[in-house]
Amino acid sequence: MLRAMVRLRPRIVHLSSVLLIVLSAPAICPAQTTARTLPRALDQLASEADVIVHGYVVSARVESHPQLTNLMTVVVKMNVLDTYKGKPQKSLVFRQYLLDLRAQLGATEYRKGQELLLLLGPVSEFGLTSPVGLEQGRFLVSRDAKGKAVAVNGRGNLGLFNSVEKRAQANGVQLSARTTALVRHPAPGPIPLADLEDALRTFGSVR
Amino acid sequence: MRFLIRLTPRLLLICFLAPFASAGGPLVVGAGPAAGTRPAFGIDGKPFTWNPAKMPIQYRIDPGPMAANTSGTTVIDHASGVQRVQGMFGVWQSTPTASLSFSNAGNLLPAGAYTSGDLSSAQQFDAVIGSCRSGAQNPVIFDANGSLLNALGLPPEVIGFNTGCALDATNGYLTGSAIVMNGQFQDRVTTSSNLEMTVNEFDEAITHEIGHFTGLDHSQINLDLLLELPAVCDEDRLAGMPLMFPFAFCQARKDAGLPVLSHDEVAWISTLYPNASTPSNYGTISGTIFFADGISQAQGANVIARLLDDPSTSEDESRRVAVSVVSGYLFTGNPGQSVTASISADENNTDGDASGSRNTSLIGYYELSVPPGTYTIEVESVFDAFVGGSGVGPLNPPARLVGDPEFWNENESAFDFPLQRDPIIVHAGDNITGTDIILNYQFPRFDQYEDGGAFVDTPILPPVSPEESMHA
């Protein structure tokens, strides 16, 4: 009750603080918002991917496709820390078609320094690829309050483990204890990177 | 409430580098005249829309079938596809309080590698997008068997997409846009790589894309439904959930007997494209969201106006009738900074985003058009999972408010009871301003160590005895 009696009186608008908020806003990595996708579970995404890697974005350059010159693309170069599917490699370069007008103008989802776990689909005849399920196959890796690496995809990991155990049983896939715990108690939001890695290996996408 | 700013310095740097941001409500917002090296971009603080003086917006349709199976047999022919496309555009056009209209101008115009007939190759797509970029046509493309998406390196989960082609940066208008529909979802074949949807689910997904085509961004209302992920969504909350919600997870709205557009879309499309009847059907509620110091504006909070529930009905109107916007939706998500420009060209973010006003009075501003009625106003976080392709509003990743949603009340402070809510009665034509909210249990401002210039009254403490006072 005592706290409720404390009142703040707006006095003067301090422009510098306002600008600081603006400049500091955790805001600015834009989105490819203009595609609608069907949700898929992690085992399905892993199965669909040709390449699954974990690494850092070294550069992301927006440019026209060399042949399809009206189509804007982003060329992403990554330093690879770990490969879970596909040929192990230290670096990876891929080109993705940009749907979103804003992304075409330069604001892609890829930024230098980002730590990502990517499940990339097959490369097309025009050298284009995307994360499988688009936002679903793109996990941003960060550190939680305890410094533990966690990963979340563009759907907040919602539905990521839907019916996974059932399909695994049907296909005779043995889930590890760690993955079983993960799929039985799914919760939206970031999951430990180590758990995600374990699950990706369990789903047959071993390095 | 309290913001948890979870940015690592690295992420902060990453985010500073982005030159363009999204907006909540409208997709793109004008930044106004050129400033320094930043070019002019639309009208300051005004959302980009199609030019109302040039209605109807003409679109042209791929002459091929809408869906075909892998053996090449047509499953949904062109005529049926055209009918469905017209119906989808018609959903938006039928909003009685909006001046938006569309017309089917016929088949795609020839352009470069595309001469006529079914558009089926990436080269033809490229040529047609080129003509869209020049403003010659707004194509609607049937990718009957998903092979075009495949050639573009897009995964089979993509139901369809909108790609903006062109805008008039002088006058703030959208001038070219395209829709692509993945017919594989309608080919009546279901395998792990060939997914299927019901007609209503598919049409609503494409109608969502047409929402982007008109200039709308994503919207967040009844988020609790998403977190529950029920097998079947209840009608009250589904009714209020926007079609422009970042992704679909419920049954089709039509299958639940609901109109395809929620109140949120109807209100927003009427706001962007008002007609003569709009003022007699809507009133506005506006205000500013503040950090706990009561003076520093907070961008990125999701603001929802909900109609008060009518206890005499079996429906929950507060879940059904709601309109939302993200605070600071007219302000840029990235105003730019020159500090990193000296590092390298890649690090140059001097101009920030092209989109969004630089008028600092708009940082925490919101404005909602609502049908007449009695409303509550609440703020909540944009769901922190709405990043990347699911983004809502100008901040991506979103800013996080801690705690339960907070309602507006007449005695707003940083320490009021979050559930204390006062009703706001809105009549048609009303402009109710100053509905400001001071976020509870929040940092005084983004940088808590910066002096915001606020004067804070000290709490009223218990009386101190003379002895204690002397020892103090």
- Per the model's pLDDT, the better-predicted residue between A171 and B305 turns out to be B305
Contacts of B441 (CB under 8 A, 6+ apart): B1, B2, B292, B402, B403, B414, B415
pLDDT surpasses 70 at B359:
yes
Whole-Å CA distances, B292 to A2, B367, B399, B416, B453: 17, 21, 15, 11, 12
Inter-chain CB proximity A33 and B22 less than 8 Å = yes
Going by pLDDT thresholds of 50, 70 and 90, the confidence category of residue B458 is very low
Q: What is the model's pLDDT at position B238?
A: 97
Contact between residue B371 and residue B295 where contact means Cβ atoms under 8 Å apart: no
Q: Please give the Cα distance from B199 to B196 (Å, whole number).
A: 9
Residue with tokens 């060399």: A66
| B378 or A105, greater pLDDT | B378
Is A39-203 CATH 3.10.450?
no
Beta strands B431-432; B283-290: pairing state: parallel
Q: Does B144 touch chain A (CB under 8 A)?
A: no
**Residue range A156-162: mean pLDDT, rounded:** 90
DSSP B221-248: --HHHHHH--SS--HHHHHHS-TTSSS-
- The ipTM of this complex is 0.84
Taking the C-alpha atoms of residue A203 and residue A185, their distance in angstroms, rounded to an integer, is 17
Asked if B386 reaches chain A (Cβ–Cβ under 8 Å), the answer is yes
Contact status, residue B308 vs residue B318, Cβ threshold 8 Å: yes
Handedness of CA B456, B457, B460, B466 (dihedral sign): positive
Domain residue ranges of chain B, discontinuous segments joined by +: 2-268, 281-438
The enclosing H or E element of B15 equals: helix B9-16
- Is cis: bond before A39, omega within 30 of 0? no
Interface contact flag, A8 B159, Cβ < 8 Å: no
Helices (H), B134-292: 147-151, 199-214, 223-228, 235-240, 263-272
Q: Give mean pLDDT, residues B89-97.
A: 98
* Percent of chain B with pLDDT strictly greater than 90: 71
**How large is the average pLDDT for residues A65-82?**
96
Q: Residues 288..347 of B with a Cβ closer than 8 Å to A: which?
A: 290-300, 331, 333-335, 337, 346-347
Structurally, at CATH architecture level, domain B2-268 sits in: 3-Layer(aba) Sandwich (3.40)
The two tokens of residue B183 are: 């017919």
Asked whether residue B449 carries a pLDDT value surpassing 60, the answer given is yes
Chain A partners within 8 Å of B454 (Cβ): 8-11
Q: Where are the alpha helices (DSSP H) in B78-188?
A: 78-93, 122-133, 147-151
| pLDDT of B469 strictly over 90 | no
> Does any CB of chain A come closer than 8 Å to the CB of residue B413?
yes
- At B317, the amino acid letter reads E
Work out the pLDDT band at A33, boundaries 50, 70, 90. Answer: low
Measured at the alpha carbon of residue A32, what is the angle toward residues A30 and A38, in degrees to the nearest 5? Answer: 140
Is B152–A111 a contact, with Cβ atoms under 8 angstroms apart? no
- Tell me which residue in B123, B217, B331 faces A68 most closely, judged by beta carbons: B123
What is the distance in angstroms between the Cα of A53 and the nearest Cα belonging to chain B? 17
| B169, two tokens | 């940066």
Closest CB to B363: pick one of A21, A29, A153: A21
The pLDDT of residue B216 is above 80? yes
* B271-294 pLDDT, tens digit each: 999 999 999 999 999 999 999 889
B12, B195, B225, B247: which to substitute to probe chain A, counting the most A Cβ within 10 Å? B247
**Under an 8 A CB cutoff, do A33 and B389 touch?**
yes
pLDDT tens across B219-242, in order? 999 999 988 878 899 999 999 999
Interface probe with B: pick from A29, A63, A69, most Cβ of B within 10 Å: A29
The pLDDT, as a whole number, for residue B388 is 63
Residue-range domain boundaries for chain A: 39-203
Nearest to B130 among A16, A59, A70 (CB): A70
- Report pLDDT for B260: 98
Q: Taking the model in full, what pTM does it have?
A: 0.87
Per CATH, is B281-438 categorized as 3.40.50.300? no
Which pLDDT belongs to residue B166? 92
pLDDT mean over B367-371: 98
- Bigger pLDDT: B333 or B7? B333
Cα B298 to chain centroid, rounded: 18
